[in-house]
A = this chain, B = another copy of it.
Amino acid sequence: MTEIMERMEEKELLKLLSDHKYAQIREIMENENAVDIAEFMGEIPPEFLLKFFRVLPKDMAADVFAEMDPEEQEVLINGFTDRELKDVLDDMYLDDTVDMLEEMPANVVNRVLAKADSETRKQINELLKYPEDSAGAVMTTEYMRLRKDLKVPEAVAWIRKRGEDCADLYNCFVTDANRQLLGTITLRELLLAGDERTVESLMDENVISVKTLDDKETAAKLFDRYEITTLPVTDQEDRMVGIITIDDAIDVLQEENTEDMVKMAAVAPAGETYFDTGILHHVKNRIPWLFVLMFSSMMTGIIIEHYEGAFQAAPLLVALMPMLMDTGGNCGTQASTLIIRGMALDEIRPRDFFKVFWTEFRVSGMVGAALAVANGVRIYLQYRDPSLALVIAFTLLFVVMVAKLLGCCLPMLVKRLHLDPALVASPLLTTFVDICSVTIYFTIATHIMHV
């Protein structure tokens, strides 16, 4: 819920609009944040959008526009005069413009490109060419470049003169005539240094950077690891071409977290919010995995068919099956989730395989023993059947251990094969564990109970 919405009803604001009380609206909006206004604009009827946008304080309009959803941006662009379009585009950062254009139909893209000046148009076209998941696709080309021979006051003066269009002023980049990146210097270092120092003497030559074609997730993780707020991007010839800013890095991190979570729930990632995904798209994202999983759980069925004699003789075995299978599945899920998340955060590395195995071996032994004893006693007290109690206890111990060891090994093996470990999370793992659980269960049951 936006703060605006908390304080006043959408209807009241629309009433002010139809009553032509523009000054009053503008006054209210002046105290709001662009993000909140953009969210509010997503909730008013489209026919009011343009009217409302024109009432916004001039210095706020481009910020609000950049934060809006593509649907509303498109409505506005189609309503804008050429002058209005140019004003908004001039005030927007290049990466925001490119983000917007990626969502627009061709006619809108063409109109926007026609209004941009030729240098901007060239840069937009360059940026639109990078693959969707690459560092190039999230970077902006508007960064602050400094010459290495500048003295501190000259550098500060240069920043004050040329800073207006830069997405970030706090991290400056020192390049040579070939645009090779020589070093970085923060505005903080510049300001805190003595006036006689040069950029070259202050700059950090040990630069962390990525290539345009690197995965954007790799780039985003560097922000977290090195606590940086801007990351330079170079092309294949090591020439600096742009920067990624931290707001985009956070978006990428959150997006990747979402992707991991939904993959672990056997859903194909949509790349859009829940409500922005169409019904058919939802169906398409969910059905494939359900079929795969259904097929593997049929295996479990086949094993059960094989033991028909056993459960005909002791029908109670069937009633206890869900508890054993669920526990196995849950134990596997616990282990696999911890391992998958640990690998995503680089806390667990492929070479830690045996360390992980040994940890899970001990943990699963203890957890398995605890569950085995508790349930063995429970079954004995409930049914007064010592052999059934023994079957359940032994099955639980083995099922828990197998589940947890599969849960830690599978994601690590999948990672070694350079596939996404999230693929063998909970759902797929559960069907593997099911097959093991049922086999262990009936093998032990037929041996101990002679059914």
A347 near B275 (CB under 8 angstroms)?
yes
Most buried by B among A289, A301, A311, A434: A301
A421 at the A/B interface (Cβ < 8 Å)? no
**Among A19-27, A28-36, A125-133, the stretch in contact with B:** A28-36
Chain B residues within an 8 Å CB radius of A15:
none
Q: Mark A181-220, 1 if CB is under 8 A from B, else 0.
A: 0000001100110000000000000101000000000000
A290-B330 CB under 8 A given contacts A188-B169, A305-B319, A323-B301: yes
Docked complex Cα distance between A352 and B275 (Å) = 10
| Distance in Å: Cβ of A44 to nearest Cβ of chain B | 16
Instruction: Please provide the chain A residues from 302 to 360 with a CB less than 8 Å away from any CB of chain B in the complex.
Output: 302, 304-305, 308, 311-312, 315-316, 318-323, 325-327, 329-331, 333-334, 336-339, 341-342, 345, 347-349, 351-352, 355-356, 359
Docked complex Cα distance between A111 and B201 (Å) = 38
Instruction: Please provide the chain A residues from 261 to 296 with a CB less than 8 Å away from any CB of chain B in the complex.
Output: 261-262, 264-267, 273-275, 279-280, 282-283, 286-287, 289-291, 293-294
Interface residues on A, range: 35 or more
Instruction: Please provide the chain A residues from 72 to 122 with a CB less than 8 Å away from any CB of chain B in the complex.
Output: none
| Distance in Å: Cβ of A59 to nearest Cβ of chain B | 11
A10 at the A/B interface (Cβ < 8 Å)? no
| Distance in Å: Cβ of A116 to nearest Cβ of chain B | 23
Docked complex Cα distance between A265 and B266 (Å) = 14
| Distance in Å: Cβ of A378 to nearest Cβ of chain B | 9
| Distance in Å: Cβ of A225 to nearest Cβ of chain B | 6
Q: What copy number does this chain have within its complex?
A: 2
| Distance in Å: Cβ of A84 to nearest Cβ of chain B | 24
A40 at the A/B interface (Cβ < 8 Å)? no
Chain B residues within an 8 Å CB radius of A362:
279
B224 near A254 (CB under 8 angstroms)?
yes
B326 near A367 (CB under 8 angstroms)?
no
A413 at the A/B interface (Cβ < 8 Å)? no
A17 at the A/B interface (Cβ < 8 Å)? no
Docked complex Cα distance between A329 and B266 (Å) = 11
| Distance in Å: Cβ of A416 to nearest Cβ of chain B | 14
B315 near A265 (CB under 8 angstroms)?
no
Instruction: Please provide the chain A residues from 392 to 449 with a CB less than 8 Å away from any CB of chain B in the complex.
Output: 426-427, 430-431, 434, 438
A contacts, CB < 8 Å to B: 1, 31-33, 35, 156, 159-160, 163-164, 169-170, 187-188, 191-192, 206, 208, 223-227, 229, 246-247, 250-251, 253-254, 257-258, 260-262, 264-267, 273-275, 279-280, 282-283, 286-287, 289-291, 293-294, 297-298, 300-302, 304-305, 308, 311-312, 315-316, 318-323, 325-327, 329-331, 333-334, 336-339, 341-342, 345, 347-349, 351-352, 355-356, 359, 362-363, 366-367, 370-371, 374-375, 426-427, 430-431, 434, 438
Instruction: Return 13 A-B CB contacts under 8 Å, by A number.
Output: A159-B191, A250-B250, A261-B261, A262-B337, A274-B338, A287-B367, A289-B330, A297-B326, A297-B327, A302-B319, A304-B318, A304-B322, A308-B318
In the complex, given contacts A261-B264, A286-B363, A293-B327, what are 19 additional A-B residue pairs having Cβ atoms less than 8 angstroms apart?
A: A169-B191, A170-B188, A261-B337, A262-B338, A265-B334, A273-B342, A273-B345, A273-B347, A275-B352, A279-B363, A283-B370, A289-B330, A294-B371, A297-B323, A311-B311, A311-B318, A322-B325, A333-B427, A426-B426
